[in-house]
Structure 1
Amino acid sequence: MNAAIGPDTYGTLVEQTTLRIQRVLPGPIERVWAYLTESDLRRQWLASGEMEMKAGTPFEFCWRNDELTDPPGHKPEGFGEEHRMQSRVTECDPPRKLAFEWGSTGGVTFELETRGADVILTLTHSRILDPSTRLNVSAGWHAHLDVLSARMRGTEPAPFWDAWLALKADYAKRLPA
């Protein structure tokens, strides 16, 4: 990962079905790793769920997006109060790499690299075959990573659902159908 990280925080398709998003987060790397792997910290920006740090082990994510920000914003129709997904750790190299299955839409990998006092987080979500799912996932990861960045910097994130809806419209213009 030698490319400079610019001000554009939008994800890009590195191939037709693979999304990549990067963020610069305040270090140290062990702190970022904790936000990825510890249920109490991860629920503050993504989803709760105890996760054993060993390849092959199953776990469950539990999303409560209404609890991520105060206020949560206007939730779109079709979203419940809670969503659960079974997953499995596929790779774990603390504190640099974590990969897991992502339901029917492939796999997610987080890679961390120390750069001075900061950490470059690279998220890669592969095998997102359906274009509408790719649009939702792109906006979702972007919104969740924005919440993570705010939490790690000690600032208040924007209302989650409002951000997700705006990002979904942005990604609809940016990503090929």
Structure 2
Amino acid sequence: MSDHGIVTEAGVVVFRRVLPGPIERVWAYLTEADKRGTWLASGEMDLRVGGKAELFFDHQTLTPHKETIPEKYEGLEKGHVNHGRITRVDPPYRLSFLWDSPEPTGSEVSFELAEQGPDVLLVLTHRRLKDQAEMCSVASGWHTHLGILVDKLNGRVPQPFWATHAVVERDYEKRI
């Protein structure tokens, strides 16, 4: 299984990761602000359809590495809040929410979990991405964040966020 996201159709990128279980543990890392904040973003999630999905991104806190934020992303230095809405919730198997938009026409992120013995298959789908630039940005972000999640769940120190992101961003610009 490749770590790279796959473009399955226009505007859709899909990632697959096998994570150490149990499934309830992985679900907690998707839905509980304190755990989610260690690999993606903290923030409130009202786990019901129509509920708030607020993500507060602070990339500097995801790994112990001290890094300079790339000039392209300096606007994120003090963090970024992403406001969305839950569109589907089926604990501990499925979670979907609108990405940085309360409008149903915005892009949507879906997590699907399936038990595989002691492990959990996570399938992340980000759909309704508007163009190649957005697909590259989203793919490199998810790739980097999922790498941190894999490391955290396996008890490893994750790679530096921005250095990793820069490498995979260049790679996705060639792939997508």
| Interval of TM-score (by shorter of Structure 1 and Structure 2) | over 0.9
Q: Quick one: which amino acid aligns to residue 94 of structure 1?
A: P
Alignment equivalent of 1:95, drawn from 74, 92, 96: 92
2:119 aligned with 1:125: no
* Candidates 62, 65, 69, aligned match of 1:71: 65
Q: Which residue of 2 aligns with 1:3?
A: none
Q: Does 1:52 align with 2:50?
A: no
Task: Report the CA distance between 1:17 and its aligned residue.
Answer: 0.4
Q: What is the CA-CA distance between 1:135 and the residue it aligns to? A: 0.7
Instruction: For 1:119 and 1:59, locate their aligned partners in 2 and report how far apart those are by CA, in whole Å.
Output: 23
Shift of 1:81: 2.2
CA-to-aligned-CA distance 1:70-92 (integer Å, 9 cap, x gap): 11433211332200011111000
Q: In the alignment, what sits opposite 1:115?
A: 116
2:77 pairs, out of 72, 76, 80, with 80
Letter in structure 2 aligned against 1:124: T
Gaps of 5+ in 1: 1-5
**CA deviation after TM superposition for structure 1 residue 64, in Å:** 0.2
Which residue of structure 2 aligns with residue 13 of structure 1? 7
Which residue number in structure 1 is paired with residue 169 of structure 2?
A: 168
Distance in 2 of aligned mates of 1:72 and 1:142: 20
Q: State, as a whole percentage, how many aligned pairs show the same letter.
A: 43
Distance 1:91 1:57 in 2: 10
> What is aligned with 2:24?
30
SS in 1 for 2:130: coil
Q: For 1:173, what is the secondary structure of its paired residue? A: helix
Instruction: Provide the alpha-carbon RMSD of the alignment.
Output: 1.1
Greater mean deviation of Cα atoms: 52-61 or 16-25: 52-61
- Asked whether the 8 Å contact 2:7–2:14 carries over to 1, the reply is yes
Q: 1:72 to 1:147 in 2, by over 3 A?
A: farther
Quick one: distance in 2 between partners of 1:20 and 1:76?
26
Q: Which amino acid aligns with 2:33?
A: S
SS in 2 for 1:88: strand
Counterpart-to-counterpart distance in 2, 1:151 and 1:94: 21
Q: Aligned residue pairs: how many?
A: 169
Amino acid at match of 1:103: D
